[in-house]
Amino acid sequence: MRRSTTPKYVISTLDVSGLTSIMEWNCKRYGRPTEANIEIFIKRFNQSLQSGRINAHLGSKAIVSKGTIYKNTIAPRQEVATFRKPLFEVI
């Protein structure tokens, strides 16, 4: 049996409907917690919401507008990187 571990970093996302989600930031999969990597993560997630993609069932209300990576400590959480989606995007 594997032992559980506490992630070093967490990402907090805010979608356009106002809901906040907190997930583990996996450095092996997503890279170091930088503003460039969080931008790539959010853009890929938003692309997965398009019709025919893996997260299409979540709908357009799940589009992430802001994301922040925190160092996962008890209190206070230390902000590492932030990304805010532009108000308008050309698709």
**Secondary structure (3-state) at 57:** helix
Q: Is-contact 26 9, C-beta < 8 A?
A: no
**21 contacts: CB under 8 Å, gap ≥ 6:** 12, 13, 15
How many residues are listed for the chain in this entry?
91
pLDDT tens by residue, 7-35: 999 999 999 889 999 999 999 999 999 99
Q: Quick one: pLDDT band at residue 91, thresholds 50, 70, 90?
A: low
pTM: 0.83
Q: For position 5, what pLDDT does the model report?
A: 85
**Secondary structure (3-state) at 90:** coil
* Nearest-angstrom CA–CA distance, 66 and 18: 10
